[in-house]
Amino acid sequence: MRAAAIQTTATADRADNLRAAGTLVDQAADAGAELVVLPEYFSVAGSARSINERAETLDGPTVSWAAQQAERHHIWLVAGTVPERPDPDSTETRLRSTSCVLGPDGTVAAVYRKVHLFDVHMEGAEFHESATFAPGQALSTVPLSPTHPDGPGTRAADDLGLPVDPVLGLSVCYDLRFPELYRILALQGATVVTVPAAFTAVTGPAHWEVLLRARAIENEVFVVAAAQIGELPGGMPACHGHSMIVDPWGTVLAEALDGRPGMVVADLDSKDQERVRRQLPVLANRQPATYRWPHGN
């Protein structure tokens, strides 16, 4: 399967953001990508007030746009994050930071609501995401059937339990610092994990690449990370960019190094993943009977 990670600099204008993202989705599809990942906040960025004013339901303009893109190009599209309005019947008034997977037929195949919220107090990166968003309560995986009749993903399952088709595990940005989430996704069958992000320019140089590669290595999965780059509106922290695609050995297959919006593309070789899992069977060698969380944790 060929994957693309798209890098944008979002504004507070949804229409402008979707036009810019659409151009890059077109480029990714023209390059043969079957899986395209958009960044966190790709549809709208800005202050808490601005985001609340532009929040929407999952049948709103952003997911509808993403469905059209996926169907038009016959691709799997991970629609970064959308500021999702709370259910009218819920006592929770905060939004959800929601990532949707659109299938090649334009239908919503999976939904993931960001679990770990970015509440930090560092110079240059102070942010309190939980003031605007409520944490999600569930993880999400979805099998990706081939997007072409004779395309990638048609291999048979083997003794490692690798599925017939790739399985996508969903995460968002700050989740990257919580390895237990990725291990659970891998144990649920994920072979590819997506990371839409707005990773900060303060922490990114030291942590972004090493964390992406660590999550790939320890779970023997492909990681497709699509990032915001540069200055975002409304007092949001500046973003590191450096969108990347990493293989299960931790090798960087593609990366955006020019500091601008754009996209990177790489082929995800399932046979290579099988080889890694056979030679270094980390998941099979686990000893779950000995693992205990400390009391209260």
Residues assigned a catalytic role:
40, 114, 173
**Which is nearest to 81 in space by CA: 181, 204, 197?**
197
Find out whether 227 and 9 touch, Cβ atoms under 8 Å. Answer: no
The whole-angstrom separation of Cα 29 and Cα 219 is 28
* DSSP per position, 92-154: --SBEEEEEEE-TTS-EEEEEE--S--EE--TT--EEGGGTBPPP----EEE---SSTTSSS-
- The neighbour count for residue 290, using CB atoms within 10 Å, is 6
What is the token pair recorded at 246?
A: 């990493």
Tell the burial category of 295 from Cβ atoms under 10 Å away from its Cβ (0-12, 13-18, 19+): exposed
CA 146 to chain centre: 20
